[in-house]
Amino acid sequence: MNYLITIIGPTAIGKTALSIKLAQHFNCDILSCDSRQFFKEMSIGTAVPTTEELAAAPHHFIRNKSVFDTYTVGDFEQEALSLLDQLFTKNNVQIMVGGSGLYVDAVLKGFDEFPDIDASVREQINADYDKFGIEYLRQKLKESDPVYYQKLEAENPQTLVNPQRMKRFVEVCLGTGKPYSGFLGKRSVQRNFTPIIIGLQADREKMYERINLRVDNMMQEGLLEEAKKLYPNKHLNALQTVGYRELFDYFDRKITLAEAIEQIKTNTRRFAKRQITWFKRTENVHWFDYLTAVTEIIAVIEKQIKDLKNS
């Protein structure tokens, strides 16, 4: 039996440090499912593991794509499962870590199946988007699938400004004449591993303190310079993310640098709250305070593996 230890939790909670200690204990690899750390041009603003951390255990899906590449969560699912098949031949315990709930779910549970959509529908949506912008997509989804729109608005509003994903939602609605949400939860997938899910958490005040400190550290490490290099390509989907958008507004002279830094902190805290909302819906999670000793977490994991073997 194979086991995929999956570490979840909000940003800046300590997932990377824990994943390395677990990888060293179980002598295995680490798959990152942080959708912002895939891109090699975005290191500082995405808190990519340091050179020392990367050397401490084998890592995958870190800085492996370019912001100029088209890379979907479906692509990640296929690549991650293929890699896991290889890794499990060496060790039946592997680790996945990250704060991108959709990408975690893709590997653990898979995606729902959607019917083929006529290419002309996509072309028309692209043309309308070019003409009317993201508000057109939002309005179309609101009309076609109000239930799903309200769910996104409450739980993952970042998606509502993601053109790539919004186009897909609208494409399914218009191409099938049915709401996008009507296709969700219909598919049952098989995996050749059993997930053991470890969640890290902290009280809100401590979590916000860690986020604020991380943003200050990022600025000291050169986030402003990193964002400046990416600024000419600010329209790219990969760059529509916290830590870069705010600095782009500073470069556009819409806000001061001090305001941009404060907005990064505020928006990161909001992002963390959405991550918590998402992960709290995940079943069978072993939740730990972020200060819990690694030995205690390892004991829980090893007990679950033993229980699963004996069941």
Fold of 119-183: Histone, subunit A (1.10.20)
Instruction: Check whether 120 has a pLDDT greater than 90.
Output: no
**pLDDT recorded at residue 6:** 98
Residues 236 and 67 sit within 8 Å (Cβ to Cβ):
yes
Q: Is 272 a residue whose pLDDT tops 90? A: yes
Q: How confident is the model at residue 203 (pLDDT cuts 50, 70, 90)?
A: very high
232 is in an annotated binding site: no
At residue 188, the pLDDT reads 64
Annotated binding residue at 13? Answer: yes
| Calpha distance 146→62 (Å, rounded) | 36
DSSP string over the chain: --EEEEEE-STTSSHHHHHHHHHHHHT--EEE--TTTTBTT-STTTTPPPHHHHHHS-EESSS-B-TTS---HHHHHHHHHHHHHHHTTT-SEEEEE-S-HHHHHHHHH---------HHHHHHHHHHHHHH-HHHHHHHHHHH-HHHHHHHHHH-GGGGG-HHHHHHHHHHHHHHSS-GGGGTT------SSEEEEEEEE--HHHHHHHHHHHHHHHHHHTHHHHHHHHGGGTTSGGG-STTTHHHHHHHTTSS-HHHHHHHHHHHHHHHHHHHHHHHHT-SSEEEEETTS-HHHHHHHHHHHHHHHHH-
Between CA 309 and CA 186 the distance in angstroms is 30
Q: What is the pLDDT of residue 157?
A: 84
* More confident of the two residues 250 and 281: 250
Question: What gap in Å lies between CA 294 and CA 128, rounded to an integer?
Answer: 52
pLDDT tens, residue by residue, 55-73: 999 999 999 999 999 888 8
pLDDT, tens only, 13-28: 999 999 999 999 999 9
Report how far apart, in Å, the C-alpha atoms of 62 and of each of 31, 54, 271 are.
Answer: 8, 9, 21
Is the pLDDT at 189 greater than 80, yes or no?
Answer: no
Binding site annotation covers 206? no
Rg from Cα positions in the chain: 20
* Calpha distance 36→271 (Å, rounded): 13
Percent of the chain residues past pLDDT 90, beyond the cut? 77
- For 64-111, the pLDDT digits (tens) are 999 999 888 889 999 999 999 999 999 999 999 999 998 999 999 887
Residue 187, pLDDT score: 66
User: What does pLDDT average to over the chain?
Assistant: 93
Does the annotation list 16 as a binding residue? Answer: yes
Q: Is 11 annotated as a binding residue?
A: yes
DSSP bridge partners of 286: 198
Fold for the domain defined by 3-111+187-310: Rossmann fold (3.40.50)
Which residue has better confidence, 287 or 114?
A: 287
Q: Is 12 annotated as a binding residue?
A: yes
Per-residue tokens: 49: 């593991």
List all residues 6 or more positions away from 156 whose beta carbon is below 8 Å from its beta carbon: 274, 278
pLDDT in tens, 147-188: 999 989 888 788 898 888 899 999 999 998 989 988 887 666
| Residue 107: partners with Cβ closer than 8 Å, 6 or more residues away | 4, 31, 33, 76, 77, 80, 81, 84, 96
Look up the pTM and report it: 0.81
Domain ranges across the chain:
3-111+187-310, 119-183
